Amino acid sequence: MKNMTCIEDLRQAARRRVPRAFYEYADGGSYAEQTLNANRKDLEGINLRQRVLVDVSNRSTATTILGEPVSLPLALAPIGLCGMQHGDGEILACRAAHAAGIPFTLSTMSICSIEDVAASVDKPFWFQLYVMKDRGFVRSLIERAAAVKCSALVLTVDLQILGQRHRDIKNGMTVPPQWRLGNIVDMASKPLWLLSVARGKRRTFGNIAGHVRGMENFNSLSHWIAGQFDETLSWKDVEWIADQWQGKLILKGILDVDDARMAAKTGAAALVVSNHGGRQLDGAPSSIAALPPIVEAVGSSIEILFDGGIRSGQDVMRAIALGARACLSGRAYVYGLGAGGQAGVTRAIEIIRNELDVSMALTGVKSIGEIDRRVIAN
């Protein structure tokens, strides 16, 4: 892993090791991928302000998220199907996050179940929830997350219908999944991946299989999930969720100031400024463009987290400078997972930590609390 010097190295390694359908599921965005690309382009367009001759010894990247100490202003974002990037992917990523002193978010659409992960790690993790049509099932997911003492519930609010991902359709990542000859040949040509997935606990949606009657195989599960997107989803449902969940609630997927104002009124502990990694409304602004007005409107009443395009410590610094408390990162660690399992996720976090630390030194700041617009050059 030492030769992996940046997230792009991990991405290239993941591209070689993971079957194309799963690699592109994580890597891609919706439609023309304009928003996916804007997330990166707009972050890269923010120049940092070099300062010199400032004593920057004794720096620290430590801070708090939702009042909990973290070693770095970063949490691993919820990503579906991590266990298809590497066997037991969710468990490995959670272990790497915890060892690094940052939160891990388990997706509803994970391969390892809530209980699998809880039994394999010794600290609480966050759980991401979709509100599905079957509210009884949603309630049972919340109860299961509470039973294993998940420390926050991350409610995804931007996916009541799925943005089309052209790459997924072309790769047969559809409902039901298409087991084309090309996919099978591709998988067969990735022996390390095959071995890790064969050794993993599961190869289907662990939170759902065995918990919904008759839903055991991948085909019936994918059909069930596709029928569960709920177009009626509204702020009333957020209230309902808040009533069911006694712990900290995070609303993920806010991109508009008016929605941020509504979110701040729900009593949620935090919101995540996010366009779902450019996977939903193509043509929506980049997350970093959406961040400052949201911070200005509600930053004093709700904690503001950020995701969308984070590939480096410099990016984390940019988001914090514009008012985020911390960032979530999905693809960066998923590339690490595909490239090398737990060691790859550890490497991804280390890369971002080192880059943030050096960027702090070179912009003349010693603590996360000191990062503000003064570190921005333009």
| Active centre residues (catalytic) | 276
Judged by CB under 6 A, how many residues of this single chain contact ligand GLV?
4
Binding mask 114-153 for ligand GLV (x = CB under 6 A): ----------------------------------------
CB-closest chain residue to ligand GLV: 279
**Nearest residue (CB) to ligand GLV, 7 versus 334:** 334
Residues in 146-175 that interact with ligand GLV by CB under 6 A: 159
Is-contact 155 129, C-beta < 8 A? yes
Binding mask 52-91 for ligand GLV (x = CB under 6 A): ----------------------------x-----------
Checking 242-246 for CB contacts under 8 A at 24+ apart, the result is 242/266, 242/267, 242/268, 244/139, 244/142, 245/142, 245/145, 245/146, 245/153, 246/146
Least CB distance from residue 128 to ligand GLV, whole Å? 9
Separation CA 9–CA 300 (nearest Å): 38
Least CB distance from residue 258 to ligand GLV, whole Å? 23
Least CB distance from residue 25 to ligand GLV, whole Å? 7
What is the three-class DSSP state of 140? helix
**Nearest residue (CB) to ligand GLV, 63 versus 280:** 280
DSSP H helices, 282-367, are 287-298, 313-321, 331-363
**Nearest residue (CB) to ligand GLV, 250 versus 298:** 250
Provide the residue count of the chain.
378
Task: Single out the residue of 20, 202, 252, 279 in contact with ligand GLV (rule: CB under 6 A).
Answer: 279
**Nearest residue (CB) to ligand GLV, 80 versus 344:** 80
Cα separation of the two ends of the chain = 35
Question: In sequence order, what are the beta bridge partners of 251?
Answer: 155, 271
**Nearest residue (CB) to ligand GLV, 305 versus 375:** 305
252 binds ligand GLV (CB under 6 A): no
In what side-by-side order are the strands of the sheet with 326-329? 74-76, 326-329, 303-306, 270-273, 248-254, 152-156, 126-129, 105-106
Residues in contact with ligand GLV by CB under 6 A are: 80, 159, 276, 279
